[in-house]
Amino acid sequence: MNDIILKPLSASDLELVRNWRNSSDVSKYMYTDTYITEENQKKWFNKAKDDPTSKYWIIEYQEKPLGLASISEINRNLSSCFWAFYLGDTSVRGAGIGSKVEFNIIEYVFNELNLNKLRCEVFSFNEKVIAMHEKFGFVKEAFFREHCIKNGEKIDVVGLGLIKSDWKKCKQQLKEKIYG
């Protein structure tokens, strides 16, 4: 049924991830768009792999790596974490891959980690991604004015949250829509 695989990020994936992250198709949706060197990428990975509050996966579809998904700031006291993803292979955007990734991440956070809330932040201009999150039951909880500055432009950010009880209400219907 599930044709999306979330494979734990490994050192052998770093160059591919670095290339995705340095592409303008990905970096325009990220808080930072500074060019990432091979050395920077290795330093980031060495820190990230030992961080118990975050997890990173390569998104695979039909054995082809397409992007990166992550959860961060896992906080047991707040029973929450943040999540994010990007598709480095832009040829699959709009093909439903993002919805499948989102479904898998939500299930992992609520069932495996047993947290109560999943959060994310999206640039306000990225209306398609905001709408996708809302389709999954996420609710706009915050509006961060001029939260990020990129290329001299001040960008607003929308904060969204999904709680476990809301997910339980819409999960089955979404599963049927996404997976048939």
Per-residue pLDDT reduced to its tens digit, 26-36: 999 999 889 99
Q: What is the mean pLDDT of residues 67-93?
A: 94
Q: What is the mean pLDDT of residues 68-95?
A: 92
Q: Are 179 and 4 in contact (CB under 8 A)?
A: no
Instruction: Give the pLDDT confidence of 6-25 residue by residue, as tens digits.
Output: 999 999 999 999 999 999 99
Instruction: Give the pLDDT confidence of 131-159 residue by residue, as tens digits.
Output: 999 999 999 999 999 999 998 999 999 99
Strand partners for 5: 60
- pLDDT surpassing 60 at residue 122: yes
Angle at 84 between CA 80 and CA 89, to 5 degrees: 160
| Region of residue 142 (phi > 0: left; psi between -120 and 50: alpha; otherwise: beta) | beta
The CATH number for 114's domain is 3.40.630.30
Q: How far is CA 158 from CA 41, 114, 149, 166, in A?
A: 28, 25, 15, 19
- Structural domain including 136 reads 4-179
Which pLDDT does position 14 carry in this prediction? Answer: 97
Q: Are 124 and 147 in contact (CB under 8 A)?
A: no
Residue bearing tokens 């118990």: 52
Query: pTM, whole model, 2 decimals?
Result: 0.92
Locate 101 and state its tokens. 């990734």
Average pLDDT score over the chain: 93
pLDDT band at 90 (very low <50, low <70, confident <90, very high): confident
- pLDDT surpassing 70 at residue 2: no
Helices (H), the chain: 14-22, 24-27, 38-48, 97-107, 127-135, 164-179
Of residues 3 and 115, more confidently modeled? 115
Q: What is the mean pLDDT of residues 70-85?
A: 97
How many structural domains compose the chain? 1
| Residue percentage of the chain with pLDDT more than 70 | 99
Which pLDDT does position 1 carry in this prediction? Answer: 44
- pLDDT surpassing 90 at residue 123: yes
